[in-house]
Structure 1
Amino acid sequence: MGRVRKLIEQLMKFGIVGVIAFVIDYGLMNLLLMMHMHNILATSISFFVSLIFNYLASMKFVFKHRADMARWMEIAIFFTSSFIGWIINEVIVWISTSWMPHDSMYTMHTQYVIWTNIGKLVATAVVMVWNFVIRKWLLDDTHTNAMNRLRSDENKLTEEELEAKREKSFSHRLGMWSIEHAPFGWK
């Protein structure tokens, strides 16, 4: 039960960090939209501001540093996955208003803001799932235990089996490669 509790605590921390990042993202986006900024530019700016907060908070409070991965690789994975998340975000927001007239940010401002917010809500849900899965898989040092925690007691892997699984995992091999190739001691 202790491991399930830790997973639930991690999900709660991820959720709290996500809610704060959401408030930053939405607040800034809507402030920029009220100034008649194009929704793609507004959502890009707000996304990247909240991303900086999310990175700092996630690496401090949610995910543990992997001893088998260099910090530069953690940062590269975080920002690469975030870049993909940003593209997903922008495509969904663009779709949400692409059917409106070109000048709708001025002539239909209220509807433009509403549809942008609807698109942003959908994008937030999709990107949140993407971020958690990719970061849990590649950045969290406890990922090999995650599925084992959910197994019944008679089906759980032994410590030796877990260690063998961890050593064969893509994230471990990537991490070890990053340590071997860390520029100027960025381990």
Structure 2
Amino acid sequence: MDNARLLNKSNSTAAQFIRYVFVGGGATVVQWGILVLLKEAFGINANLANAVGFVGGLVFNYIISSIWVFDTSSVKNKAAEFSAFALIGVVGLLINQGLIWLFDKALTGKDLFGGIIPQNKYYLVGQVIATGLAFFWNFFARKYLLYNKTEEKQ
């Protein structure tokens, strides 16, 4: 794959996936930054802090994805496009929230990691697992449900 296909918009799924890794990484930094800041500095519940972080990451992801990752939306109205983009993201958030809750609440009190990870940081383990699962869901759902133009013939 040449650099031009990676840098310029393309309907190539491989090029879009690679660009989405960078965009998703940036959105993850935004989401995690807000999550950890709110949880650690302000003592806010991990699920609430994660939801606020999700909104920040979602906005970042939408702006950069619509500029750089996906070529053409199947939805022409920008408000409807953002709503569909967000709805797909909400499914990822539900995956994320469920795993954060599991590790922050349901598994607290259990010594899962032999003391290597303090129990009050288990929510971060859930966040790591959820980030991977949500990443794949978000990319493929957005690619095939929202930005579903067929690939260009090369």
TM-score normalized by structure 1? 0.64
Q: CA offsets per residue over residues 69-112 of structure 1, 9 Å max, x none?
A: 322432232011111111111111101122326xxxxxxxx532
Q: Aligned equivalents of 1:79 and 1:139: distance in 2? A: 11
Amino acid at match of 1:96: F
Q: Aligned equivalents of 2:21 and 2:94: distance in 1? A: 22
Look up the SS of the partner of 1:145 in the other structure. coil
Q: Quick one: which of 70, 75, 92 aligns to 1:69?
A: 75
Aligned residue number for residue 114 of structure 2? none
Aligned residue number for residue 97 of structure 1? 104
Aligned residue number for residue 113 of structure 2? none
Amino acid at match of 1:37: I
1:48 aligned to 2:55?
yes
Is contact 2:17-2:139 (8 Å) kept?
no
Q: Quick one: which of 106, 121, 124 aligns to 1:117?
A: 124
Q: Quick one: which of 67, 86, 89 aligns to 2:93?
A: 86
Is contact 1:25-1:50 (8 Å) kept?
yes
Q: Aligned equivalents of 2:75 and 2:57: distance in 1? A: 25
Look up the SS of the partner of 2:151 in the other structure. helix
Aligned residue number for residue 170 of structure 1? none
Aligned-residue CA RMSD (Å): 2.4
Aligned residue number for residue 15 of structure 2? 9
- The alpha-carbon deviation at position 127 of structure 1 amounts to 0.7
Is contact 1:64-1:141 (8 Å) kept?
no
Q: CA offsets per residue over residues 115-140 of structure 1, 9 Å max, x none?
A: 11100011111111110111110222
Gaps of 5+ in 1: 102-109, 150-187
Is contact 1:89-1:124 (8 Å) kept?
yes
